[in-house]
Structure 1
Amino acid sequence: MIGGLVPVPDPAPHPSKGSDQNNPDCVPATDQDGGQRSIFSDRNFVLFLVGQCITTQGLWIQKIAMSWLAWSLTGSALWTGVIAALNFAPAFFLGPIFGVMADRVDLRRTAMLLNLGQAAVSFLLMGLSYADMMTLPWMVTLAGLMGILGSAMTPIRLSLVPVIVPRAFMNRAVAYAAMNFNISRLVGPAVGGVVIATWGTGAAFMINAISYLPMVFVISVVTIHMERAPDAKSRRIWTSLVDGANYALNHPMIRSVLALSCFVSLFGTGMVELMPVFAEAVYDRGVTGLGMLASSAGIGAVTSTFILSRISSDAIAYQRVTILGAFAAAVGMTGLGFAPWYELAVPLVTLTGGGLTLVGVGSQTALQLTVDNRLRGRVMSFWSATSFGGMALGGTLLGAISEAGDIQYTARGSGVLILCAACVGLWRLYRIGALARSGALR
């Protein structure tokens, strides 16, 4: 028994002729000549990547619109942080429950319904903006609703990639999906800044609402292979949740990765959520300056995901990169706290964005390569809870601190704390490496 989970024997392979075609782990990763197959030869993954590309472009356009609208309505760093936090806070409180559900529900149907729900909320935001009826209470309500739908979608999305591609492709699938997300992070904010300046926030919300529809189509046509433990639906939700928590807490690799990603999200990504304050209050550059800062973070993110796509399918290697990313984010964030000029802030935000992406994607991939498939939804929901929950809490906490003082002092403190976490993570990696060499880690 591992962490309270009763081992379940692997199902015997079906003797039918088409059995290999129904199991992505059985699909060979080599071509007929014995060479390595390209992941882009996999129809499922290409469709998923295209759908995600369109959806995430809209997501980042809406994200920049929400941040700018919150700052415009209130002029408060605290409320800007709160609105940003509401997009992620539900992942902290409800993510593990949604993770249990991800191990039980029909992934295709649930993903389609959640995408349609997010599109409906974006259409409502569009209507309120065009009618000039947007108020702070409406923003709080709809940001919270979007956060709930997003937190439900996260474990579903993280469970989809491993069941639509062969296991041999998993590290590249996760890395390319993350690269796609971060290219959108590069392009989306810049486009969003132009859209807001030209047509207003209503147009930004409309673009995001429409962008969910192609993903609904993609999910309806991709082939999804899913194996569930025999007790996945019969066990009580609380019992299933405890099984997942025990498994995560008793596994040294998973425990260490979750702790570092949570801390970096709290003091790193939470600080990035306050970029509107840097753009306007510190450097007086307005919405176009905000778009440039967000896009510079995207440049660092794209560079990092390219690096991640070159790493072999080894969980220890990805944890090593995660720690390297924490050091890079610490340097960038500390430097941003001292930067007197906007021109200097841009490359520092690039470094910070690259470091945070190494932490986020590296930790996610390390977990995907380590976790038992029967608990994937639950464990990945813990990752989303610690990552997005840390981001939500950090955005609110750091926004409140910045409201009472200077936001650049807050950035310096965040950088120092991330540096400390990176040092602890390095020590933990050394311990995990020793356990792996002794055979104690499994």
Structure 2
Amino acid sequence: MPDTSDISKSIFRDRNFVLFLIGQCITTQGLWIQKIAMSWLAWTLTGSAFWTGLIAALNFAPAFLLGPIFGVMADRVDLRRTAVVLNLMMTATAFLLMGLSIAGQINLFWMLVLAGVNGVLGSAMTPIRLSLVPVIVPREFMSRALTYAAMNFNISRLVGPAVGSVVIATWGTGAAFMINALTYIPMIFVLATVRIHVERAPDAKSRRVFAALVDGANYAIHHRVIRSVLALSCFVALVGTGMVELLPVFAEAVYDRGVTGLGMLASASGVGAVASAFMLSRVKSDPAHFQRISIIGAFAAGCGMVGLGFAPWYELAVVLVAVTGFGLTAVGVGSQTALQLTVDNKLRGRVMSFWSATTFGGIALGGTMLGAISEVGKIQYTACGSGVLILCAAITGLWRLRRIGAMDVKPATETSN
């Protein structure tokens, strides 16, 4: 078997993977550009941390409520055709947001409605996207492909808002929504042209929806690695990434730097994400290693957020946000890749939908909850408390890792406790 460096070089000679990665990179950047535009609009329209958190929550909450159902469907449907349809629908909602914003008709009602619609479409797309990589790339390159795809999505989550902030400051929110709409076009072209290895696609058509969902839940609950990874990623999303959704509040209410200051904070997150991605690109393709990286990331994110709670200067806050971005990317990529390398392919859509449900559901609930808490107290205290909780979760994860000897990961088909 070739070593990691050989695989890493060879995978970029695969046309299928390169096309898919480029398309995904463009689309996910646009997605996060739109999300920061909606968060900024919510803040400027209401001046409320609660409404800002709620708008962010509606982009993610459907993943928690509907994600597992969409995961079952991902194990049944034609992946290519479904992905094209969902991308077309998301393009339409982005153009609608653009039109309302440019016409000056955007208001809180429309933002709530369209954030909810985008949340539903995004929750349907996530298990489809996560199931596409294993059926697009050659089997021998799958582990590296999963790593790069996960890094791309999580880097976009932090870099996209930085780009979006610059776009908003220069041309306004309408331009940000237009850019997002246009970014779906390359991905639709990619989906229409890449080869799908149909023989490796999941097939759960023989099971009823509820029975298939129960099968996936039992598998996830009783597999110790999957259970641990899901628990950590959910908790960090709840009290960590949910706080990052409130960066507009830090930029304006705490440091009085406006959208330019928001752009700098978001850019710092992106720098941290890129540094984290570099580290992750050198990790051996083994689920235990990525599980350990998730715990390291939680330590970094917790320290960054505790520091942010005490930071008296904006410049120091920028550095601490970069540390937080580094840690959150490590948790996001580490947990997602550990699951992808562990899960049985027949249950991939369902298990990865549980990841998206716990992660994005945690962001949704966390953004709303932390926003509400920040309404009655200083947001710096909320950030500090969130950081302490993440550090506690990281310590617990490290203790469990040592206790059960998770470095010796057992095959994905094993479901022993």
Q: Same fold (TM over 0.5)?
A: yes
Q: Structure 2: how far apart are the matches of 1:229 and 1:163?
A: 6
Q: Which residue of 1 aligns with 2:125?
A: 153
Q: Is the 2:202–2:346 Cα contact (8 Å) retained in structure 1?
A: no
Provide Cα deviations, 1:30-82, integer angstroms capped at 9, x if missing partner.
Answer: 9xxx9655210111110011111211221122111111100011000000000
**Alignment CA distance shift 1:231-1:164 (3 Å):** closer
Provide Cα deviations, 1:203-251, integer angstroms capped at 9, x if missing partner.
Answer: 1111111110110000111111134789611211000000000000000
1:297 aligns with 2:265: no
Q: Which residue of 2 aligns with 1:105?
A: 77
- Where do residues 23-102 of structure 1 align in structure 2 (5 Å cutoff)? 36=7, 38-102=10-74
Identify unmatched segments of 5+ residues in structure 1: 1-27
| Greater Cα radius of gyration, structure 1 or 2 | 1
Q: Which residue of 1 aligns with 2:234?
A: 262
Q: Structure 2: how far apart are the matches of 1:207 and 1:229?
A: 32
What secondary structure does 1:38 align onto? helix
- Cα offset for 1:184? 3.7
- Cα offset for 1:189? 2.8
The number of aligned residues is: 412
Q: Structure 1: how far apart are the matches of 2:188 and 2:121?
A: 15
Q: Is the 2:147–2:337 Cα contact (8 Å) retained in structure 1?
A: yes
- Where do residues 163-182 of structure 1 align in structure 2 (5 Å cutoff)? 163-182=135-154
Q: Which residue of 1 aligns with 2:181?
A: 209
Q: Structure 2: how far apart are the matches of 1:158 and 1:127?
A: 31
Q: Is the 1:329–1:353 Cα contact (8 Å) retained in structure 2?
A: yes
Provide Cα deviations, 1:343-364, integer angstroms capped at 9, x if missing partner.
Answer: 0001100110110111111000
Greater CA deviation, 250-259 or 50-59? 50-59
- Cα offset for 1:182? 4.7
Provide Cα deviations, 1:148-181, integer angstroms capped at 9, x if missing partner.
Answer: 0000000000111111113432332223223333
Counterpart of 1:311 in structure 2: which amino acid?
Answer: V
Provide Cα deviations, 1:360-392, integer angstroms capped at 9, x if missing partner.
Answer: 110001001110000000000000000000010
- Cα offset for 1:435? 8.9
Q: Structure 2: how far apart are the matches of 1:186 and 1:400?
A: 23
- Where do residues 281-430 of structure 1 align in structure 2 (5 Å cutoff)? 281-430=253-402
Q: Is the 1:182–1:302 Cα contact (8 Å) retained in structure 2?
A: no
**Alignment CA distance shift 1:418-1:221 (3 Å):** same
Q: How big is the alpha-carbon RMSD for the aligned residues of Structure 1 and Structure 2?
A: 2.1
- Where do residues 124-143 of structure 1 align in structure 2 (5 Å cutoff)? 124-143=96-115
- Where do residues 211-230 of structure 1 align in structure 2 (5 Å cutoff)? 211-227=183-199
Q: Is the 1:171–1:313 Cα contact (8 Å) retained in structure 2?
A: yes
- Where do residues 266-277 of structure 1 align in structure 2 (5 Å cutoff)? 266-277=238-249
What secondary structure does 1:190 align onto? helix
Q: Structure 1: how far apart are the matches of 2:182 and 2:136?
A: 25
Give me the TM-score of the superposition, normalised by structure 2: 0.94
Q: Structure 2: how far apart are the matches of 1:219 and 1:227?
A: 18
**Alignment CA distance shift 1:434-1:228 (3 Å):** closer
Q: Structure 2: how far apart are the matches of 1:58 and 1:368?
A: 24
What secondary structure does 2:198 align onto? coil
Q: Is the 1:175–1:305 Cα contact (8 Å) retained in structure 2?
A: no
**Alignment CA distance shift 1:344-1:382 (3 Å):** same
